[in-house]
């Protein structure tokens, strides 16, 4: 039994959830998301709550049960509150600036790196060494944060690079004389 899958998903006020076959669509104040649930899962929408349950006792149905519930709950949270990821730039001369809707990064290369915002994602640079990525799709926000971090990941000797807010970088000792 999935402890996560058993929990019903409450429908907050201002959010409409529609179920058409295996497709769940969630519409809220921040936007609309939809996702097709696996065939092994049964979706029921009643009394302002969405419940998911497995069709049979197969291993795949058990695996998809908790996953499906988490993904639909993240859709509901995304259209009501949204998601945000914060990145920090550590290093001399490392800075970020907005260039229209795109993000312009100076990360120690001989050129500036421009990152275009995909549909549904907004960038913000409140400080020169901080980047905020926000949107309604949790997977897309996390993926954009990972792509930006991949441009210049933190290195273990001086700790320079792009890191998640609060990330601890394991430092190595340099060479000895």
Residues 144, 158 within the same domain: yes
Do 158 and 90 share a structural domain?
yes
Q: Please report whether residue 150 resides in a domain.
A: yes
Are both 75 and 111 inside the same structural domain? no
Per residue in 131-168, pLDDT (tens digit) is 999 999 999 999 999 999 999 999 999 999 999 999 99
Three-state secondary-structure class, residue 128: coil
Identify the domain boundary among 80, 99, 128: 80
Average pLDDT over residues 75-88: 95
pLDDT band at 81 (very low <50, low <70, confident <90, very high): very high
Same domain, 28 and 72: yes
Residues above pLDDT 70, as percent of the chain: 99
Domain count, the chain: 2
In a domain, 93, yes or no: yes
Where does residue 8 rank: exposed (0-12), middle (13-18), buried (19+ CB within 10 A)? middle
Flag whether 116 is in a domain.
Answer: yes
What pLDDT was estimated at residue 175? 87
Rounded mean pLDDT of the chain? Answer: 93
**pLDDT, tens digit, 9 for 90 and up, residues 94-121:** 999 999 999 999 999 999 999 999 999 9
89 and 159 part of one domain: yes
Q: Is the dihedral of CA 33, 38, 41, 42 positive or negative?
A: positive
Q: H or E element: which one contains 6? A: helix 3-6
Q: Does residue 177 lie in a domain region?
A: no
Residue 87's domain spans which residues?
A: 83-164
pTM higher than the cut 0.85: yes
The per-residue pLDDT for 139 is 95
What per-residue confidence (pLDDT) applies to 5?
87
Is residue 170 in some structural domain?
Answer: no
For position 52, which CATH number holds? 3.90.930.12
Residues 68, 109, single domain; the answer is no
> DSSP assignment, residue 150?
H
Q: What percent of the chain lies above the pLDDT cut of 90?
A: 87
Q: Give pLDDT, residue 2.
A: 74
175 in any annotated domain: no
What are the tokens at 14?
């201002």
89 and 71 co-located in one domain: no
User: Are residue 73 and residue 105 in the same domain, yes or no?
Assistant: no
């Amino acid at each position: 039994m999935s402890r996560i899958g058993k929990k019903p998903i409450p429908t907050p006020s201002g959010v409409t959830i529609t179920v058409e076959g295996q497709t769940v669509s969630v519409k809220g104040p921040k936007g609309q998301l939809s996702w097709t649930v696996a065939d092994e899962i049964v979706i029921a929408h009643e009394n302002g709550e969405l419940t998911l349950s497995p069709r049979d006792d197969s291993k795949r149905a058990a695996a998809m049960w908790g996953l499906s519930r988490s993904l639909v709950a993240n859709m509901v949270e995304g259209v009501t509150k949204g998601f945000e990821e914060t990145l920090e730039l550590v290093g001399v001369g490392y800075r970020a600036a907005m260039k229209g809707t795109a993000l312009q990064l100076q990360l120690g290369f001989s050129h500036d790196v421009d990152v275009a915002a995909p549909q549904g994602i907004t960038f913000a640079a409140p400080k020169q060494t901080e980047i905020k990525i926000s949107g309604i799709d949790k997977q897309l926000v996390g993926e954009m944060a990972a792509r930006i971090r991949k441009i210049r990941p933190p290195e273990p000797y001086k700790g320079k690079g792009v890191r998640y807010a609060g990330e601890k970088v394991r430092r190595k000792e340099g060479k000895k004389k």
